[in-house]
Amino acid sequence: MVNPEQQAREEIDRQLKESDWVIQDRDEINLSAAQGVAVREFKLKSGHGSADYLLFVDTQAVGVLEAKKVKRCIRDEDCPQGEKEQDGRVADARTAPLC
Protein backbone atom coordinates (compact mmCIF):
# COMPACT_ATOMS: atom_id res chain seq x y z
CA MET A 1 0.00 0.00 0.00
CA VAL A 2 1.27 3.45 -0.91
CA ASN A 3 1.58 5.92 2.00
CA PRO A 4 0.02 9.42 1.75
CA GLU A 5 3.38 11.15 1.18
CA GLN A 6 4.25 8.76 -1.66
CA GLN A 7 0.83 9.43 -3.20
CA ALA A 8 1.60 13.16 -3.02
CA ARG A 9 4.97 12.61 -4.74
CA GLU A 10 3.32 10.63 -7.52
CA GLU A 11 0.81 13.43 -8.05
CA ILE A 12 3.58 16.07 -8.01
CA ASP A 13 5.55 14.04 -10.58
CA ARG A 14 2.48 13.77 -12.80
CA GLN A 15 1.74 17.48 -12.66
CA LEU A 16 5.37 18.47 -13.24
CA LYS A 17 5.61 16.18 -16.27
CA GLU A 18 2.34 17.55 -17.68
CA SER A 19 3.86 21.03 -17.34
CA ASP A 20 7.00 20.00 -19.28
CA TRP A 21 9.35 19.89 -16.28
CA VAL A 22 12.17 17.34 -16.40
CA ILE A 23 12.34 15.39 -13.13
CA GLN A 24 15.71 14.11 -11.98
CA ASP A 25 17.10 12.26 -8.99
CA ARG A 26 19.72 14.08 -6.92
CA ASP A 27 22.46 11.65 -8.00
CA GLU A 28 21.88 12.35 -11.70
CA ILE A 29 21.56 16.13 -11.90
CA ASN A 30 21.83 17.79 -15.30
CA LEU A 31 20.42 21.29 -14.94
CA SER A 32 20.93 21.92 -18.67
CA ALA A 33 18.60 19.05 -19.64
CA ALA A 34 15.64 21.44 -19.97
CA GLN A 35 14.54 24.95 -19.12
CA GLY A 36 12.67 23.59 -16.08
CA VAL A 37 14.31 20.87 -13.97
CA ALA A 38 12.89 19.46 -10.73
CA VAL A 39 15.46 17.61 -8.60
CA ARG A 40 14.09 15.06 -6.12
CA GLU A 41 15.47 14.87 -2.56
CA PHE A 42 17.88 17.78 -3.05
CA LYS A 43 20.24 18.08 -0.08
CA LEU A 44 20.51 21.56 1.41
CA LYS A 45 23.42 22.88 3.45
CA SER A 46 24.28 21.03 6.64
CA GLY A 47 21.59 21.35 9.27
CA HIS A 48 18.84 22.22 6.79
CA GLY A 49 17.87 18.73 5.60
CA SER A 50 16.62 18.23 2.09
CA ALA A 51 13.87 19.46 -0.18
CA ASP A 52 11.50 16.90 -1.67
CA TYR A 53 11.91 18.82 -4.95
CA LEU A 54 14.13 21.78 -5.74
CA LEU A 55 12.99 23.59 -8.88
CA PHE A 56 15.45 25.12 -11.33
CA VAL A 57 14.71 27.38 -14.30
CA ASP A 58 17.60 28.05 -16.66
CA THR A 59 19.94 26.41 -14.09
CA GLN A 60 18.88 28.80 -11.29
CA ALA A 61 17.07 27.57 -8.18
CA VAL A 62 13.63 29.18 -8.09
CA GLY A 63 11.51 27.15 -5.68
CA VAL A 64 10.93 24.22 -3.37
CA LEU A 65 8.12 21.66 -3.34
CA GLU A 66 7.43 19.49 -0.31
CA ALA A 67 5.31 16.36 -0.67
CA LYS A 68 2.75 16.29 2.12
CA LYS A 69 -0.43 14.33 2.52
CA VAL A 70 -3.60 16.12 1.52
CA LYS A 71 -5.16 17.96 4.44
CA ARG A 72 -8.81 17.43 5.05
CA CYS A 73 -9.29 20.54 7.20
CA ILE A 74 -10.46 23.91 5.94
CA ARG A 75 -9.59 26.21 8.84
CA ASP A 76 -6.35 26.30 10.90
CA GLU A 77 -8.26 25.47 14.06
CA ASP A 78 -9.51 22.25 12.41
CA CYS A 79 -5.97 20.98 11.73
CA PRO A 80 -4.11 18.85 14.26
CA GLN A 81 -1.23 20.68 15.96
CA GLY A 82 1.36 18.40 14.35
CA GLU A 83 0.33 19.53 10.88
CA LYS A 84 0.68 23.20 11.84
CA GLU A 85 4.19 22.54 13.20
CA GLN A 86 5.10 20.62 10.08
CA ASP A 87 4.00 23.55 7.93
CA GLY A 88 6.44 25.76 9.86
CA ARG A 89 9.31 23.44 9.01
CA VAL A 90 8.34 23.64 5.33
CA ALA A 91 8.47 27.42 5.50
CA ASP A 92 11.97 27.18 7.02
CA ALA A 93 13.09 24.92 4.16
CA ARG A 94 12.12 27.57 1.61
CA THR A 95 14.73 29.93 3.01
CA ALA A 96 17.41 27.31 3.75
CA PRO A 97 20.71 27.83 1.91
CA LEU A 98 21.67 25.46 -0.89
CA CYS A 99 24.78 23.27 -0.80
pLDDT at 97 over 60: no
Non-local (6+) Cβ contacts of 39 within 8 A are 24, 25, 26, 29, 53, 54, 55, 56
* Number of domains forming the structure of the chain: 1
Q: Specify the pLDDT at position 39.
A: 95
Range of the domain at 52: 4-94
22 found inside a domain: yes
58 found inside a domain: yes
Q: What is the pLDDT of residues 2-55, one digit of tens each?
A: 788 888 888 899 999 999 999 999 999 999 999 999 999 998 888 888 889 999
99 found inside a domain: no
How buried is 23 (Cβ within 10 angstroms: 0-12 exposed, 13-18 middle, 19+ buried)?
middle
- CA 84/CA 80 separation, integer angstroms: 7
Q: Specify the pLDDT at position 91.
A: 41
66 found inside a domain: yes
